Amino acid sequence: MKHDKEYLVTINVPPSLEEPLVDALLTLEEELGFSSFAVNAHHHENKGLSLAEQVTGRQKQLRFQMYIDENDLEALVEKLRQEFSGSGIQYWVLPVLVSGVI
């Protein structure tokens, strides 16, 4: 039985985009779901940081992660581009070598 390649997609967003991104992901990821959690982003550019964030050297963000089949990856990225163009959302995609439930 042939399986599609699977990828781990990670998306970082500012807290103001949490609900819009949840809504967008729910329309695409009904079967697999996704995880979200708070992170502190550390970046060499201070663009868009508040004074407090510049002083502490970190910016509060939310990270979303999901497993997605190769066939669905392009649709996800296109949806993000259409709905969040110019918002500064950062994402990356990594191949999943092994996954399972123990």
Residue 40 vs residues 7, 45, 55, 91: alpha-carbon distances, Å:
24, 14, 14, 15
Please report which confidence band the pLDDT of residue 6 belongs to, taking 50, 70 and 90 as the band edges.
Answer: very high
Task: Give the mean model confidence (pLDDT) for residues 32-40.
Answer: 89
Q: Which has the higher per-residue pLDDT, 20 or 42?
A: 20
Looking at residue 33, what is its pLDDT? Answer: 82
pLDDT of res. 1: 39
Domains and CATH numbers, the chain: 6-95 (3.30.70.120)
Of residues 102 and 33, more confidence is placed in 102
Radius of gyration of the chain (CA): 15
pTM of the model: 0.81
Give the SS3 label for residue 82.
helix
